[in-house]
Structure 1
Amino acid sequence: MTEQPNGTQRNGYAAKRLNRRDPRLPVSEMFDIDIAASLWEILPEECRRDHFDKTTMPTQYRAAVSEADAGGPWTTIALSMRGLPEPMTWELAWLLHREVELGRRIHPNGFNAATRVLRTATGPGGAPARSAQSLLQLTPEEWLRQAHRARLRGAQLGRGNDGNALHTIRRLQDVLVYPYHRGDWWRLNVWNPQLDARVPQRDHEPNGRSIANFSHLSSSWLREAAKWWLSVCLETERHCWSTLKTRLDGLKWLQRYLDDVGDTGPTLVAETDELRSFIRGFLTALRSHKVTSGPRVGQPLAANPHRAIMTTIEQFYTWMYDNRIDAAVVLDESRWATLTSAHSVLFRPGDKPRLTNKRSEDMVLEDDVVARIAEGAELLALAKSEGGLGDLAAFHALMLLIRTGRRINEVLMMDFEPLLPLVGAQDADESALVARMRYQQTKVQTGQPNSIPVDAEVVAIIRAQQVEARRHMSSMGWTDRDPRYLFPRPTQNRNGAHPYSTATLHSVLARLTARLNITDSQGRQVPISKTHRFRHTAATNLLNAGVPLHVVMRYFGHVSPEMTMHYAVTLAQTAEREFLRFKKITTDGSPLSMDPDDLYDVLQLDKRADRVLPNGWCMLPPKQVCNRGNACLSCDKFVTDASHAPELRRQLTDTEKLVEERKSAFLAKYGAAMDDNNVWLQGRAAESTSLRQILLAIEDVSDTSRAVRGAGTNDRTLRTDDSGANPR
């Protein structure tokens, strides 16, 4: 354990620590001698000691002892609790064991500094310390003051660091309050699922280490009701832990408004007919709020978070109205029983902003971009000493994101052994599907598919990451234990019980983005940290390859076809953008007068798939029949663009080759050269001329988006507006 930071760092450190402590918890009153004795009794026999050294250190403790902190191997380390009141010894012995269970490091210097302060304070210290039986009966600061008071009386504090001692006592007290707490778990103001096993959580919770602090709700009626409401939502699985945090944040906006206009209790207003005026004022305050950080700093709240805040408050009051009688009893607040039906519909339909599910135009990555990302990702695996980022786990995670199209949490929270046999699979070739990869389905309801077939390359990536995960466990002192997750958190995770953080991976990938500086065909930098783009790309590729919708739906674990169709819409939009990128021209190289947007709509609305040609499009109306055969290059209904350049060049080469072959055959058969007036030769010459004109025009205009006109229309010119610019 390190010293408490100084200066401004100390304030930030203290705020972060206090965010994990319940300021209203009567810590000094929680001690119970029977509970303390039970903590001692549940310990394994070898852990019931007041002193641990190289001869008595339990095996499970040895790997947890921080040798670097002590300046030597664990065999030179002692952890001493001698000279303390017996109940306090019981507590500290239990706390040592609990720290090991939580996967934390035992820091001998900090632990012994703390017991030194406690020993001195309970000896010749002041009366409060001498009478104390529990670590909780004084605050960390009071324990240190009592030890200093004993020193003034001549007591020897011994060697140690007061900063380490203070930090350790705080840390231990934070853990100790939970076994002493009696009553409903939800009545605590700070919910810490890592320390309090009573908090309901899913088996695999992406944000399971985060804290929910209700102390920010300063109105007691609102705070207690919010805790009750959200605890029921957790217990009934209506909300998961991640959703709970967003609901709590939404209620903070109501508290902020109450602080501004005055708090009249659960009914919000003194008279029911004033409720609509209160809501209008709240909506005005919400709309006028300016964002203080992030990319939207200085701007109003975006529509989606704005709507989410209103939805949270609406759901809260609807639930409280439905349970108003029980609320008056459970919360000991009779005013909840006076809620009216108006409180169940605080907002009218027109009050809420519309959801804006705007799809980014660059969600689907080009094949070349994906290939460059995969190639450049080796920087992640390269050691820092060699100029890389030194994060092999991040490299493996990125490769799985690209190859499988899973969500980021579905990859990072996979079990250590996620592979299942694929029934009937055979080792046909490297691209064959050889196994099933199981992942954690954390976003949608249970019962949805949670495994996909994978090929040998994905299996190889997983096997390589298993080696890396075992290396992590070995560095933590374990030689016979695998981590829970394939991607274990690299820090504060001695037992391998926590997954690699999404925030950490996003940060690493952001650094990779800066290092690689990959751009797409439009010159835009590709942010690799936006990992959901790999999912969009994988889904689009499957749909583009003709995979049936229901198969794609099952592969991506979607609940409904509408979720999968989101990617189909992206695919269609991508196709439209590609169509509009190039200027449309005709057989003589003239620009098409029809707007390309209109041309695209006409082709789509008329379902004119039969008008899609290998080298362009046919603009012949749907009810008319073409009688020109394959003479498109001499038809003014033919239109093409630069996307067909390879086919047009091939056609020109083949035509010129065919002409030379026919001329040679004609000369050999008739003993004379083919005349330029030959009907067949004139037709081929016209086609060659048209192809050259088209290709010449393509070279000039391939980077624009306007269309041009068709064959036999040399006198037609590109429309312009009054300024002379090409119309859009």
Structure 2
Amino acid sequence: MNTDTAPLPAVPVPARSVPRARVRNRQDKRDPRLPIAELFSEDRARQLWESLPEAHRQDHFDSANMPGDYAQAFTAQTINRGRGWFSQAISLRGLPEPMLFELAWCIDRQVADGYSISTTRFQELRRALALAVEHGGLAAREARSLTALSHEEWEREVRRAVMCATPSSNAHLPALVLHSVKHLQDRLAHAYHEGEWWQLNVWNPGLDRRIPQREHEPEGRRVVNFSQLTTDWFREAAKWWLSVQLSTERYVWSSVKSRLDHLNWLHWYIKQAGCAGPQLVSSPEDLRPWLLGLVDALNSHTALSGPNKGGRLAKNSRRGPLVTMEQFYRWMHDHRSEAVRVLGEPRWSLLGLHHTVLFRLDDKPRRTNELPEDMALEDEVISQIAAGSGTLATPKSEGGMDDRQAFHALMLLIRTGRRMNEVLMMDFEPLLPLVQAKGQNEREPDGFVARLAYQQTKIEGSGPPTIPVDQEIVDIIRVQQQWARDFLTAQGAPQDVNPSYLFVQTRNNRLGLRPYAAATFHHRLGHLTKTLAITDSAGRPVKISKTHTFRHTRATDLINAGVPIHVVMRYLGHLTPAMTMHYAKTLAVTAEREFLRYKKVTADGRTAGLDPGDLYDLLHLDQRADRVLPNGWCMLPPKQVCSKGNACLTCDKFVTDASHRDELKLQLDQTEALIARRQAQFASRHGQPMGDDNVWLSGRLAETNALSKVLVALDHVGVQDGERLRAVRGAGTPDRSQPPSAQSEELKR
């Protein structure tokens, strides 16, 4: 899958032609994540305060009134070590009442979400805001809410107040305010906004519980920002469309960001070429030329990263935006009357049928999903990764990364073939009992002992997301569970609380509510790749961070071991056999490559009568499964019956190669040993050895003679370097007609 990206050119925002009031001008400069002009409401601020438990409605917290959950979440940590001041107390006094309500509510939400709160840092923030309200400019002195100014404006007001008050001891306060207020305003924006959740320009599932999400969402903490769509009618329609797709479960949260990226291309082109509003052009006849300009812009764009860097965008990178644009406009056409009412934009009613199919088939590149040759890792490579994976858990003082979670997760990836998020988002207790057969009390020591439940976040309806696992995997999970329990204890979590996930985020995750981040895991494996510097047999560097290779490897191993396709399909969580055969392709190509590596010879040691590629095709196209022998292949046509029993070694239809050398050598040794034993028995009984005219002996001698010739021929062709073989005749048969090149090769031999 191609990952090249091409950042869109910056598009200047058109100048406003109508001046606005002073308050609105200030709102225009707000953080773009706060698009509502008048967020603050004193009534709403009081409602937030009254929604808190009574023990949490305090203007200060100290040892006398500290709630139990706050005591566990509050940490005393100084910012200015020179002052050496530590305290677990928090005071909200000295601020306007609505601002006090806001801060108290934000503290409660932080604690409930499992975050820790640095009391020292919070005290410094309160002091900075109090200074701004008392000594800042007019805007700060009139402010009653944190939302009254943007975080940049608060930083400037605090800087002004510090300079007027005690600049030497408070120089650090402006920078503290800049980052802290930004986060608090994010929370308050969703709390104050009483309209539909999708009307906000920033969708943050971590702060807005109204956003539809699956119970286990891999990208659940990702924030989607629509502020870059500066064309109002387009931005509001995009938000409405994507919100409906989320609510109706046509899209999942992980898909929203990619769809927005696709729509950014259309917005960029609108800014470059201009348009007539939602209908894009004034006349239907102008739509096709306008769209062709968009297609040409995509086709001529230069990829700035990825495998196509410096060249054209990959096919999928060009196809995706066109498909999304078409889906968006088809849906808007079908809902144009509702769009006029919901969005307040009457021009959506001007959409016609020509907007339902924006692009022709030849405008959109065909989807490509070609697998690279190194998707399935070799056994030796897997062994090297497993041997070097301990670097993940080794302490930093010893040159490691000190991340036992990453080590355990990698071990599970290698052994189970699950997707990365299926491992990182496992429940804390993912093991289920394995149903035993009646009367079966003990299992094989290396057999399956439990079922492992994982989070199926990609394919719905593929059956229960569980797989059987052995004791080794169970042991890895038990060790990780103990690590997670110890981590929560160290964070001050209650004794009886287990984390929600087996692998947990280690920063600001006091209750273990958030899983280990995929980005962190990817970074760790990237570092491990550089440290180990593993290459495969072809000399290609192995990227351990490409975790899907472990899934391909596991699937290939299962198919190679003869596991039925429907069982492999169930193990991988696939809906159709076609999805599973996508992985089997690697095995098929590898098997053919292995077959063609070796020169094919006949029973009398001469080169086989068919090109190796033709021989491989015939064996499979003619369905000659019954012609596959322990020591080679039988080329007798499928409809003919063999009349020679097991006398393959003296048959002109017998073909073999160096991959069977060990079997052939063993057969030669066993036949020679058998002749020696029978000769001894015959001589003891008849007083003389068997003669060459003995029927049994002559047959065995013919076999040993054929085996010797075959082995000599295999050793001979084995030293030839890289020469692809062509066909000659079989054993005991007259010369067959051959092309001149084949005859000259035969003369050389």
TM-score (norm: length of structure 1): 0.90
Pairing 1:36–2:45 present: yes
- The answer to whether the 8 A contact 1:441-1:448 is kept is no
User: 1:24 Cα shift?
Assistant: 6.8
Say if 1:475 and 1:660 are closer, same or farther in 2 by CA, change over 3 A.
Answer: same
What corresponds to 1:694 in structure 2? 713
- The answer to whether the 8 A contact 1:22-1:188 is kept is no
Query: Which amino acid in structure 1 is aligned with residue 639 of structure 2?
Result: K
Q: What pairs with 1:16-165 in structure 2 (closer than 5 Å)?
A: 23=32, 25=34, 29-69=38-78, 76-151=87-162, 153=164, 159=170, 161-162=172-173, 163-165=175-177
User: 1:545 Cα shift?
Assistant: 3.6
Say if 1:125 and 1:623 are closer, same or farther in 2 by CA, change over 3 A.
Answer: closer
Number of corresponding residues: 704
**Residue 73 of structure 2 aligns to a residue in which SS?**
coil
For residues 443-478 of structure 1, the C-alpha deviation after alignment (integer angstroms, 9 at most, x for no partner) is 112573222222222221111110111122123222
Query: Which amino acid in structure 1 is aligned with residue 54 of structure 2?
Result: E
What corresponds to 1:514 in structure 2? 530
Pairing 1:440–2:452 present: no
Say if 1:605 and 1:559 are closer, same or farther in 2 by CA, change over 3 A.
Answer: same
Pairing 1:612–2:628 present: yes
CA distance in 2 between counterparts of 1:439 and 1:294 reads 31
User: 1:436 Cα shift?
Assistant: 2.0
- The answer to whether the 8 A contact 2:280-2:287 is kept is yes
What corresponds to 1:220 in structure 2? 232
Pairing 1:556–2:572 present: yes
User: 1:203 Cα shift?
Assistant: 1.0
Say if 1:352 and 1:151 are closer, same or farther in 2 by CA, change over 3 A.
Answer: closer
User: 1:267 Cα shift?
Assistant: 1.2
- Identity among equivalent positions (%) equals 53
- The answer to whether the 8 A contact 1:190-1:212 is kept is yes
For residues 570-608 of structure 1, the C-alpha deviation after alignment (integer angstroms, 9 at most, x for no partner) is 433332222222222233443335322211111111111
Moved more, 95-104 or 314-323: 95-104
- The answer to whether the 8 A contact 1:251-1:309 is kept is yes
CA distance in 1 between counterparts of 2:399 and 2:734 reads 60
**Residue 482 of structure 2 aligns to a residue in which SS?**
helix
User: 1:442 Cα shift?
Assistant: 0.9
Moved more, 245-254 or 43-52: 43-52
Query: Which amino acid in structure 2 is aligned with residue 182 of structure 1?
Result: E
What corresponds to 1:463 in structure 2? 478
Q: What pairs with 1:471-490 in structure 2 (closer than 5 Å)?
A: 471-480=486-495, 481-490=497-506
Say if 1:719 and 1:571 are closer, same or farther in 2 by CA, change over 3 A.
Answer: farther
**Residue 602 of structure 2 aligns to a residue in which SS?**
coil
Decide which of 603, 608, 623 is 1:587's aligned counterpart.
Answer: 603
- The answer to whether the 8 A contact 2:503-2:516 is kept is yes
Decide which of 668, 671, 674 is 1:658's aligned counterpart.
Answer: 674
Structure 1: segments with no counterpart, 5+ residues: 1-20
Decide which of 343, 365, 385 is 1:331's aligned counterpart.
Answer: 343
CA distance in 1 between counterparts of 2:704 and 2:165 reads 113
Decide which of 241, 245, 253 is 2:253's aligned counterpart.
Answer: 241
User: 1:231 Cα shift?
Assistant: 0.4
Say if 1:357 and 1:155 are closer, same or farther in 2 by CA, change over 3 A.
Answer: closer
What corresponds to 2:544 in structure 1? 528
- The answer to whether the 8 A contact 2:525-2:544 is kept is yes
For residues 82-105 of structure 1, the C-alpha deviation after alignment (integer angstroms, 9 at most, x for no partner) is 211121111111112222223333
- The answer to whether the 8 A contact 2:601-2:710 is kept is no
CA distance in 2 between counterparts of 1:511 and 1:39 reads 45
CA distance in 1 between counterparts of 2:312 and 2:91 reads 57
CA distance in 1 between counterparts of 2:739 and 2:686 reads 47
User: 1:310 Cα shift?
Assistant: 1.3
Structure 2: segments with no counterpart, 5+ residues: 1-29
Query: Which amino acid in structure 2 is aligned with residue 29 of structure 1?
Result: E
What corresponds to 1:711 in structure 2? 731
**Residue 89 of structure 1 aligns to a residue in which SS?**
helix
Pairing 1:401–2:413 present: yes
- The answer to whether the 8 A contact 1:290-1:298 is kept is yes
Pairing 1:380–2:392 present: yes
Say if 1:451 and 1:692 are closer, same or farther in 2 by CA, change over 3 A.
Answer: closer
Pairing 1:504–2:520 present: yes
Query: Which amino acid in structure 2 is aligned with residue 697 of structure 1?
Result: H
- The answer to whether the 8 A contact 1:22-1:190 is kept is no
- The answer to whether the 8 A contact 2:601-2:607 is kept is yes
Query: Which amino acid in structure 1 is aligned with residue 91 of structure 2?
Result: S
Decide which of 288, 310, 315 is 2:300's aligned counterpart.
Answer: 288
- The answer to whether the 8 A contact 1:193-1:209 is kept is yes
Superposition CA RMSD, Å: 2.9
Say if 1:467 and 1:73 are closer, same or farther in 2 by CA, change over 3 A.
Answer: farther
**Residue 649 of structure 2 aligns to a residue in which SS?**
helix
- The answer to whether the 8 A contact 1:432-1:455 is kept is yes
User: 1:672 Cα shift?
Assistant: 4.2
CA distance in 2 between counterparts of 1:674 and 1:721 reads 42
Query: Which amino acid in structure 2 is aligned with residue 610 of structure 1?
Result: D
- The answer to whether the 8 A contact 2:657-2:714 is kept is no
- The answer to whether the 8 A contact 1:31-1:180 is kept is yes
User: 1:618 Cα shift?
Assistant: 1.6
- The answer to whether the 8 A contact 2:555-2:583 is kept is yes
Say if 1:423 and 1:282 are closer, same or farther in 2 by CA, change over 3 A.
Answer: same
What corresponds to 1:410 in structure 2? 422
User: 1:69 Cα shift?
Assistant: 4.3
